[in-house]
Amino acid sequence: MQKDVLKEEIKREAKRLGFDFCGFSKAEFLDEEAPRLEQWLKNGMHGKMHYMENHFDKRLDPRMLVPGAKTVISLLQNYYTEEKQPDDAPKVSIYAYGKDYHLVIKKKLKVLLGFIREQIGNANGRAFVDSAPVLDRAWAKRSGLGWTGKNTQLINPKAGSYYFIGELIIDVELPPDYEIKDYCGTCNRCIEACPTQAIIKPYMVDGSKCISYFTIELREEIPVEYQKKMDGWAFGCDICQQVCPWNRFSKPHNEPELLPNKDIMKMGKEEWMDINEDVFKSIFASSPLKRTKWEGMKRNLRFLNANHNNSAE
C-alpha cells in the first residue's frame, strides 16, 4: 500500500474510533525542546515531581522508546462538556468528570495499532497516553494539530484546547504533516488570570506554582502562602483554558466513556466535606480523581475549607 494512501486510511480509522484530530511527524530528536526542558528542570519548575528528572533522553527521542521508530502519530480526543458542578462544590477540572482517560484512550490506540498491522503486516509500535516519558504536546505541535499557547497548552484553531493527547510511535515511515502558525498574538489573558502567577512569562509555566500541581502532584502540605489563591479548586485547574479566546470554539464531546460521572456532578460542598474513604474509593474507582488518593483529597478539602473560614473572619 502506498504511504500516502495508508496515512489517509489511518486518519479515517482514527476518526471512526472517535478521535477528533490525527497528525503525523517524523520520529527524531526534539532538538528545540531539549534546551528548554533542561533549563526548566534546572530551575526547579517541576517542584517535587522528581520523575520528570528521569529518562531525560527518552523524553526527547522516541527512537529510544521504540527501536527503529520512524513516525509519531498524534491523536486528540475532545473532553469538553457544558455540564456544571453545583455552585458551592469544590471545583474539579472538567477532564476529570468522566472515566480515567488513560484507560479510554489507550484502548482506542491499541485498536488503531492493530488496524495498521492489518494493513501492512508486521509493524512494531507502542501506544502512549500521558504515562511514559513522551512530550505529547511537542509531538502534537509537530504533527500540525495545533500550536503551543502562552499557557503551554496545545491549542487547535478549530476547536480550542480541551483535548487529551495520545501517541502511536511506530517503525513505519509515513509522510509527516507540518506545523501551523502560532495565533496567540498579543493576547495575555491566561497569564493575567492565573491566581498563583504560575505562567511566569509567555510559553513558560512554573509547575511548582500551578494549582494543578498543588492539588494532584504534591504529596505534602500545600504551602500556606497560597491559602487565598486556590480559587476553590480541589482537583486540577481550568482557569487558563476558561479565559482563552480560542475555547469559544469548544464543543461538547460525544465519547460515552468520558461522560461526566453523575455522582460527581451532583455533589455539593456538604457531600464533599462529609465524604469518607469508602465512598471516595467507590465513586472515584475509575476516575482520574483517584490519583490524589483519599489522603490527598482530604488535604485539598481541608485547605479550601481553611481558606473559606479565614475569608469569613
**Looking at the annotation, which residues are catalytic?**
130
* Amino acid, res. 40: W
Cβ partners under 8 Å of residue 308, min gap 6: none
Nearest to 159 by CA among 47, 77, 218: 77
Contact 33, 60 (CB under 8 A): yes
Closest Cα partner for 139 from 266, 297, 32?
A: 32
The DSSP string of the chain is --HHHHHHHHHHHHHHTT-SEEEEEE----TTHHHHHHHHHHTTTTTT-GGGGTTHHHHH-GGGTSTT--EEEEEEEE--------TTSPEE-GGGSSS-HHHHHHHHHHHHHHHHHHHHS---EEEESSSSS--HHHHHHHTTS-EE-TTS-EEBTTTBS-EEEEEEEESS------------TT--HHHHH-TT--EEETTEE-GGG-HHIIIII--SPPPGGGTT-STTEEE---HHHHT-GGGGG------GGGSPPHHHHT--HHHHHH--HHHHHHHTTTSGGGGGHHHHHHHHHHHHHHHHHHHH-
* Residue 111 near residue 17, CB atoms below 8 Å: yes
